[in-house]
Structure 1
Amino acid sequence: MNEIAAINPTGVAVQDADTMPHSTEAEQQLLGAILTNNDIYDRVAAIIGPSHFYDPVHARIFEISSARIAKNNLASPVTLKAFMEDDEGLKELGGPAYLARLAGAAISAYAVRDYAQIIYDLAVRRDLIQLGRDISAKAAKVDVSNEPKEQIVEAEQALYKLAEQGTSEGGFQSFLKAVTDAVNVANAAYQREGGLAGISTGLNDMDKKLGGLHSSDLLILAGRPSMGKTSLATNIAFNIAKKYKRGIKPDGTEGAIEGGVVGFFSLEMSAEQLAARILSEASEVPSEQIRRGDMTEPEFRRFVDAAKALEACPLFIDDTAAIPIAQLAARARRLKRTHGLDVVIVDYLQLVRGVAENRVQEIGEISMGLKAIAKELQIPVIALSQLS
């Protein structure tokens, strides 16, 4: 490629046996626009970085330009020439004259965000293709130390990491928008009976302290063993699920207008044990009596009535032991997509698995992962934590 390719921002190279998806034209247009007007860099810096470029020479041009602009220095064909004169890749493209041709061919500066998005999307596609090849290669290699289940977990973690690399919509927002959002939350609390802006836990004292459970919140419920953490969590889950009503929300979307769909990750107890505890709370029959079958007729009738009432409750239990945080996030997304999801409860945090080698770092990674789930899915997440 000794000359600038024809200007075609949507011209994506078709993948063959050796070529990954890319758009040389979009990369050239973007770089040319930056070299012509450095102010354009600020419009694309949040979307892409050097690693998103397919051509390594383009990646180095972007990297050097970024470093100079960050120091308030000029990035132009003339200033970059001094840094790239000995670059072998640039020599193959025509040397420093290629930089001048990039700047000279940039005719669509107004569309730089579109070019940046194309470059970013194609980079993600290349990563997905490479990830697929890695998964395929590992699966083809029959190794007794690498079980298929472990490979599935590794693949899910890799996909989760790829998905969490960032979006193009981040950055600052105006104070006007922030104030408007705050007023809307306060108005929801004012309009709703009981004065709650969030989802009611069904526990009056807790609701007064928290104002209900709010979207994107991560709440840690910590206590020593056998202090009633799971009992409190099951109470909250049951109270939210049994009040579930679907309708049109104030923002015009369809969803829970009261109560909500609950996803309960029970890493310590089986789904059956957790269901028994919830039934015990709902029927007001001690769980040890239920286990022994030692119930009077009125108690058994209350137990059966509670079971019938709970049949229709949107409470979903996942009792997978030692679930990785990436898999937990994937299952929460899937539940939101298929049935809706308004609250996630994790019992308990220390039983979730991370990928960090150090235990302290692993707990930090899990906590950040749970907070990321809360923000991404716009739901409150309650995580129980064991104190020694």
Structure 2
Amino acid sequence: MKADEINRLDSESGIIATLIKHPDFSFYSENLLPNHFTNRQNRCFYTAICEMAKNNITTVDAFGVMQILESSDAMRRIAKDITIEQIQELIEMSEILARNSIEEYKLLVGNVVDAAFRRDTYQRLKECEDLCCNEEANDIQEKIYGLIDEVMTDYSTTDDIPQFKDVVDDCWNEIQNRQQDGYAGIPFKFDKLNEYATIERGELFIFAAEAKQGKSMMLLNCAMDLLKKDQAVLYLDSELNTRMFTARVLAHLTGIEYRRLTTGNYTEEEKRKIDDARAWLKTRKFTHIYIPMFDQQSIYTAVKKVKHVQGLDVLIVDYFKGSGEGTAFDSYQELGKFVDKHHCSR
């Protein structure tokens, strides 16, 4: 057995022993899951002791643990060969192995979670390798992003539960840092709009109007204003290809009429304005992608790629077509799920 495997199992045994003496310590390790343990018996003991702590049981005994292990068919199958004698032996050994401080216990938890993270990440990477080697596999980009995101999300939680007195100052500092010209969040270009809302990370903002009423021009204005504020923007467009969109952007930035700009009917001075606008755009974190038919897979892949390449503060979708013929509430629900999936501001 390798040294790191010995350390890992020692940490697992130390956790169980500590919880036998201090079952309430389990509230400091809610991010530690039974499947993070490599030893099956330790998984069972951890599950049982956590359940006892939730039921306000402060003394762990062999009979109580066995009762929980036999409380359901699923648990009985997992703990089928664990005897009350083994549980009693473990309780007696806990006198030697148990830690008596929360800090020591959390160190043991960190060791076990870190080992589990490495195992799960390795397993996901192996699955990615299998996908790459399988010529018949479809949608591998989305699947690979999904596999990696899954393991990162699983291990992104924290067991720290600070009291409000410990966070109020940090929260106030964050509130102050977000204050910009009398607004919180990222203000829109149009002051009147900021009286009602600003752009917030993880939130959904919808511009709705009938066809040909200026929605796309409104979004283009917002996009250029965000770039001037040095925000990283992804613009997903179902109507204009990137060439046509670029022409609109340059017309917007230079003040040259779209038709004159696209036909070459502009002066030398206006040509310099166009060159300056193009040079400025190259300094911005901005991506425009033309996707004639939106679907969750194409959007998901685009967002992940851009986040890795340039970062992403705001995602603009022009325009989102719902999948059904439901009510406005149905469309709102669908858009809400869309936001939750991609975790960035719109």
Write out aligned runs for 1:51-200 (5 A).
Answer: 51-74=35-58, 76-78=60-62, 79-84=64-69, 87-90=79-82, 95-110=86-101, 111-143=104-136, 146-147=137-138, 150-169=139-158, 172-176=161-165, 179-181=168-170, 183-184=172-173, 187-188=176-177, 194-200=181-187
Structure 1 alignment gaps of length 5 or more: 15-21, 243-258, 353-358, 375-380, 383-388
Q: Which one of 5, 26, 35 corresponds to residue 13 of structure 1?
A: 5
Deviation at 1:32, TM superposition (A): 0.9
Structure 2 alignment gaps of length 5 or more: 71-75, 324-330
Aligned-residue RMSD, C-alpha: 3.7
Partner residue in 2 for 1:205: 192
Deviation at 1:165, TM superposition (A): 1.9
Q: Secondary structure at the match of 2:206?
A: strand
Partner residue in 1 for 2:243: 272
Partner residue in 2 for 1:228: 214
Q: Secondary structure at the match of 2:57?
A: coil
Q: Which one of 278, 284, 287 corresponds to residue 317 of structure 1?
A: 287
User: C-alpha separation between the residues in 2 aligned to 1:340 and 1:141?
Assistant: 30
Q: Secondary structure at the match of 1:54?
A: coil
The alpha-carbon distance between structure 1 residues 332 and 197, as it changes in their structure 2 partners (threshold 3 A), is: same
Identity %: 15
**TM, length-normalised to structure 1:** 0.69
CA contact (8 A) 2:48 2:69 kept: no
Partner residue in 2 for 1:287: 258
Structure with a larger share of its residues in helix:
2
Deviations 1:320-348 (CA, angstroms, capped at 9, x unpaired): 6345565345335424xxx5654443444
User: C-alpha separation between the residues in 2 aligned to 1:366 and 1:317?
Assistant: 19
Structure with a larger share of its residues in strand:
1
Deviation at 1:286, TM superposition (A): 4.1
Q: Which one of 16, 20, 25 corresponds to residue 10 of structure 2?
A: 25
CA contact (8 A) 1:261 1:340 kept: no
CA contact (8 A) 1:265 1:318 kept: yes
User: C-alpha separation between the residues in 1 aligned to 2:5 and 2:123?
Assistant: 17
User: C-alpha separation between the residues in 1 aligned to 2:313 and 2:334?
Assistant: 26
Matched, 1:263 2:237: no
Equivalent residue pairs, number: 324
User: C-alpha separation between the residues in 2 aligned to 1:351 and 1:159?
Assistant: 28
Partner residue in 2 for 1:367: 339
**TM, length-normalised to structure 2:** 0.77
Deviation at 1:124, TM superposition (A): 1.9
CA contact (8 A) 1:26 1:115 kept: yes
Deviation at 1:84, TM superposition (A): 4.8
